[in-house]
Amino acid sequence: MRLQIPLTIILVMGIFTLVTSFIPAKPIADVNQMFRNWYIGIITFFIFLGTFNLARSNAEKIKKQGRDWQYSIILLAFLGIMLFFGFYRGRASTEEGQPFMYLYFNVQFPLESTMYSLLAFFVTSASFRAFRARNKEALCLLLAAVVIMLGRVPVGTAIWKGFPTVTEWIMNYPNAAAKRGIRLGIDLGLISMALRMILGIERSYMQ
Amino acid sequence: MREPELRQLAKPDRDTVEVMRLKLIIVAAIIAVICNVDIADASTTPQVADSISILPPRIISLKDTPNDAGTSIDIEWELSPTESLIPGMIIEYQVLRAPSPDSTFEQVGSVPAGTSTYTDEGTIPNKPYWYRVAAVGREQQVVSEMAGPGHSVMQWFDRRRIGVAIFVALTCTLVMVFIEVAKRKGKMFLRRLPVFDAIDEAIGRATEMGRKVLYIMGQMDVDDPQTVASMSILARVAERTADYGTRLDIPCVWPMAMSMARETVKESYLRVGKPDEFNANDIYYMTSDQFGYVAGVDGIMMRDRPAANFYLGSFFAESLIFAETGYTTGAIQIAGTAEVDQLPFFVVACDYTLIGEELYAAGASLSGDPIQIGSIRGQDVAKAIFFVYIVAGVVLKLFGINWLETLLKID
């Protein structure tokens, strides 16, 4: 029973979700929407679980004075500050000019932008390794990359007016064909995996 | 199922007054041209435009929107003749609706001048509605004659998705057939991917070096198939780490994925007979913020220097940041995602990459279960059939035969 009940739920819900993709009728769509709303409700409860887990693990770290435990103090302090400013005026807390939004736009947002900007450096270092012409395939990759880069910047057009046209051709034909091939495989793989889940063949998470 | 209702409305007679009005407009336009007045831009000569009455539009049809839940009606009208005579005089068309001919008409939407269709998405199935369309100018508006009743009808099958239904049904049938074959036959050959051996190798290396294994499940929650696929690979990875006594560190983006990962790893430790070595604290929630998570994971990589990094699931901009940071720490890196745009980053920076469908097949393949392997064989046969289909479609297209191309077309 411990296995059969969840597997039955998965089977019924899996088939129902599949069928709703093809049935626009309102009663079915409404039931589907109801299940989606349940899912959102469940997720909301899990956010509390996540926050509790985060607070507990960092509190334990401070208590045991584990490695870098000082960072946990900063984390818990900011968790508390954001929770306080997020709740103290209810819905109005997220209005412009409120402390919660001030902290979001002036602390969290710049920090996120900083992390994202690292990508520029990592793209450079990864490209440097990827574009070494060690064999024929790598040479093809290098040539395609050079053409595309030149086709996307004004200096490329200044060198030869045909670069943007060649770039578009590479992106629209060889590149698009390869992407579509991978996507077709992904879709078939997805159907196969979904069937394994629905039929209860794949259940590594609940033996 | 009822066919979409098409109401061809009788063309109203142009009465004498309207004809006279039109003639007057033309005469006014000619006089304006003679007097060198630019009437094409009504905004610059409002006094001229406002002195001319707008002619009403005419509703041509009220149709039920096909393939929907019966909650919308398509309205089509003939543009007001004023639009072509005096461009710019009409600003927009407003669609007005009433539940009966005698009721007050209320506006349900508007479209810019030059548009002759509107979909009213707020209808109740099988309820009659009457419509008018108002041509709105800067100072005046004129309403069309009433049209109706129009009904919206609920459909039980979305005909636009017939191609998808065929595609899914064929693939499902093949997968199920091969599952049955595998059940009877017992064992099926499936080419082993080098990455499967690399998983053992990476965990073995981490064990020898006395370092931990880092497992990242991607940015999405358990409602994403890639996260579910990642979970089935995690089960196999956790079996190995449990076997070797290596620490497995799993920072999570979503609390629900964390709960599921804990259950998966716990079951794996139970399977290999080492339930006491399972540590729930090694699978923890970090943050649901994309770049906050990136900062946290990069910190773990730089401080703890895990010997093996697994990135399996749904990844976006963070893919290259993870992979490059891991590369600098010298870890063996195994990645896999179905996000096509992120695959090149993983291929460049990681030692092994599961490309697209391999991510979905890896869990089944690693399990060694003949039934699961049978399902992959079914998927491969479906792929071969679709390959033949695509090639045949291209060849037939070259000879001007299009039916194969349009058979699986959506919409």
In a domain, A171, yes or no: yes
The token duo for A153 is 């910047």
Taking a C-beta distance cutoff of 8 angstroms, is the pair B383, A182 a contact?
A: no
Pair (B139, B200) in one structural domain: no
pLDDT of residue B41: 45
- Report the gap between the CA of B135 and the closest CA in chain A (Å): 33
Q: Kindly list the residues from chain B whose CB atom is less than 8 angstroms away from the CB atom of residue A53.
A: 255, 258, 284-285
Query: Which of B92, B126, B150 delimits the end of a domain?
Result: B150
Q: Kindly list the residues from chain B whose CB atom is less than 8 angstroms away from the CB atom of residue A195.
A: 172, 175-176, 375
In a domain, B160, yes or no: no
- The Cα B352–Cα B292 span in angstroms is 26
Burial class (CB in 10 A: 0-12, 13-18, 19+), B338: buried
pLDDT of residue A192: 87
What stretches of A65-198 show up as alpha helix (H) in DSSP? 69-87, 99-103, 109-130, 136-151, 154-159, 163-170, 176-198
- Report the gap between the CA of B201 and the closest CA in chain A (Å): 22
Region for residue B245 given its phi and psi (left: phi exceeds 0; alpha: psi -120 to 50; beta: otherwise): left
Tell me the per-residue pLDDT of B186-234, one tens digit each, with 9 for 90 and over: 778 888 888 888 999 999 999 999 999 999 999 999 889 999 999 999 9
B360-398 burial, b at 16+ Cβ within 10 Å, e below that, comes to: bbbbbbbbebbbbbbbbbbbbbbbeebeeebeebeeeee
In a domain, B48, yes or no: yes
DSSP state of A108: I
In a domain, A144, yes or no: yes
pLDDT of residue B37: 46
Pair (B136, B74) in one structural domain: yes
Strand ranges in B54-175 using DSSP code E only, listed in sequence order: 58-64, 73-78, 90-98, 106-112, 117-120, 129-137, 141-143, 147-150
**Domain span holding position A142:** 131-207
Query: Which of the four pLDDT bands, split at 50, 70 and 90, describes residue A207?
Result: low
Would the CB atoms of B164 and A22 count as touching at under 8 Å? yes
In a domain, A154, yes or no: yes
Q: Kindly list the residues from chain B whose CB atom is less than 8 angstroms away from the CB atom of residue A185.
A: 356-357, 383
In a domain, B385, yes or no: no
In a domain, B337, yes or no: yes
In a domain, B377, yes or no: no
Query: Which of B150, B173, B206 delimits the end of a domain?
Result: B150
Q: Within its chain, how far is the Cα of B394 from the centroid?
A: 26
Pair (B195, B146) in one structural domain: no
pLDDT of residue B54: 79
What stretches of B210-254 show up as alpha helix (H) in DSSP? 225-244
Tell me the per-residue pLDDT of B91-132, one tens digit each, with 9 for 90 and over: 899 999 999 888 899 999 999 988 999 999 989 988 999 999
The token duo for A63 is 């208590």
In a domain, B398, yes or no: no
Pair (B256, B346) in one structural domain: yes
**Domain span holding position B285:** 188-368
Pair (B205, B349) in one structural domain: yes
Q: What is the ipTM of this complex?
A: 0.91
Tell me the per-residue pLDDT of B228-257, one tens digit each, with 9 for 90 and over: 999 999 999 999 999 999 999 999 999 999
Closest residue in B to A190 (Cα–Cα): B360
Range with lowest mean pLDDT among A196-200, B46-50, B267-271, B363-367: B46-50
Taking a C-beta distance cutoff of 8 angstroms, is the pair B240, B366 a contact?
A: no
Pair (B232, B356) in one structural domain: yes
- Report the gap between the CA of B387 and the closest CA in chain A (Å): 9
- The Cα A133–Cα B122 span in angstroms is 60
In a domain, B383, yes or no: no
In a domain, A39, yes or no: no
In a domain, B265, yes or no: yes
Structural domain tally of chain A? 1
- The Cα A22–Cα B157 span in angstroms is 6
- Answer with the residue of higher pLDDT: B314 or A94: B314
Pair (B253, B356) in one structural domain: yes
pLDDT of residue B344: 92
Peptide bond into B112 cis (omega under 30): no
Closest residue in B to A43 (Cα–Cα): B256
Pair (B52, B117) in one structural domain: yes
Structural domain tally of chain B? 2
- Answer with the residue of higher pLDDT: A89 or B354: B354
C-alpha dihedral sign at B220, B223, B229, B234: positive
In a domain, A99, yes or no: no
**Mean pLDDT value across chain B:** 86
In a domain, A78, yes or no: no
